[in-house]
Amino acid sequence: MSFLGFRGKWMSWIRACLYSARSSILINGSPTEEFQIERGLRQGDPLSPFLFIIAMEGLHVAIEDIVQAGYFKGAKIGRVWVWNWRRRPRGGVEDAQLNELISLIDSVSLSNSDDKWTWDLDSDDAFSVKGVRAYLDRQELLEGSIPTRWNKFVPRKVNIMIWRLLLDRLPTRFNLSRKGFDIPSILCPMCINSVEVLDHIFGGCHIASNIWNAIGRWLEVAFPVDKGPKSILECLDSSGWPKKKKDVIEMIIYTTWWSIWRARNEIIFGQPNDNKDTLFDSIVSVSHMWLSSRNCGKSAPVEDLRLPPPVSPPDPAAVSVAGDGQWMIVQCC
């Protein structure tokens, strides 16, 4: 790191990460006394690949300097393989290993040119830190079968929540119990009738089902809520609607999931739960508010997006009434 120009303070931070960590071991369910780890980072530490990249960059620069100085020189080898035995193979396993070696190198062709350094992770045979990082990502990062979706009309926290929802990583009562958490019940806190799994809380629960029926009447769309959240998005993707309308409908779907999850949390954590009766009106209001606040200041009547007006007036700060009685979306100030 000093060779690459890193300052002493930064190197002391990295040194502290490597040598000041402490750990303990569980023996029969009880942790032992903590002991100091003096041999680098723990397995799976996210800092490890970044330190590896820094080390590789320093090694690359050092090797280039050594090659230019003439300390590294390649050996010239002809095209004919010449075997120089200390002793001949004795048959049996040794002959089999020799035949395997010959089959592996039979297609190798060596030229009389000088040896050179090549990098086979990139197409141009040139070493780059970017190539190392891409290789590490391909080896270490998990590839999900579901592409990440991002809707520009909803806040970032909603997009992150939807990403966790589609991966079934939300802390539903069933997921918590499966991970070993001691919880008083795994039943749905909204209906107390079924186990709280992902498909139930966002569709199978009669409260969620009533919400989706109201959303369907509002948008004049029939959502397959009984088949789970993924089926709703698959139905949206195959609808054939214009992209602008798809984005807005997707925003309303996200808002519905977000509102259901928020209402569920309010019930669990002891907050007033009388919002179930007004949940649909809240979804409509929040949908219009998010759409208006992220419309880049361009006024857009709801009918231009082929969406019916909300059942109840949203927040006056977010919308205003046009002359024909329709709700006009304007930018929030």
Judge residue 138's burial from the number of C-beta atoms within 10 Å of its C-beta, 0-12 exposed, 13-18 middle, 19 or more buried. Answer: exposed
Distance CA 333, CA 327 (A): 17
Provide the pLDDT for residue 122: 73
pTM attached to this predicted model: 0.52
User: What is the H or E stretch that residue 292 is in?
Assistant: helix 279-293
Distance CA 300, CA 320 (A): 11
Judge residue 202's burial from the number of C-beta atoms within 10 Å of its C-beta, 0-12 exposed, 13-18 middle, 19 or more buried. Answer: buried
Distance CA 159, CA 294 (A): 14
Provide the pLDDT for residue 71: 61
Q: Quick check: 149 and 163 in contact, CB under 8 A?
A: yes
Q: N- to C-terminal Cα distance for the chain? A: 49
Q: Where are the beta strands (DSSP E) in the chain?
A: 22-23, 26-27, 30-31, 35-36, 300-301, 319-321, 327-329
CB atoms within 10 A of CB 176: 15
Please tell me the total number of residues recorded for the chain in this structure: 333
Angle at CA of residue 280, ends 159 and 244, nearest 5°? 50
Among 145, 204, 212, smallest CA distance to 174 is for 204
Distance CA 106, CA 296 (A): 65
User: What is the H or E stretch that residue 135 is in?
Assistant: helix 129-140
Distance CA 102, CA 81 (A): 10
Read off the tokens for 23.
């750990």
Provide the pLDDT for residue 135: 81
- Full pLDDT tens readout for the chain, 333 residues: 676 777 788 788 877 777 776 777 778 777 788 777 666 666 667 777 777 787 777 777 777 776 677 665 554 444 556 666 677 777 788 888 888 887 887 777 767 777 777 777 777 777 788 888 788 877 766 666 566 788 989 999 999 999 999 988 999 999 999 988 888 899 998 888 899 999 999 988 888 999 999 998 888 888 888 888 988 998 888 888 888 888 999 999 999 999 999 999 988 887 655 556 688 888 988 988 888 887 655 544 444 444 545 444 444 343 333 333 333 333 332
At what angle are helices 47-69 and 129-140 packed, to 10 degrees?
140
DSSP 187: B
Angle at CA of residue 42, ends 6 and 179, nearest 5°? 135
Q: Quick check: 162 and 149 in contact, CB under 8 A?
A: yes
If you write DSSP's letter for every residue of 21-67 in order, what string do you get? -EE--EETTEE---EE--SSPPTT-THHHHHHHHHHHHHHHHHHHHH
Q: Quick check: 125 and 118 in contact, CB under 8 A?
A: yes
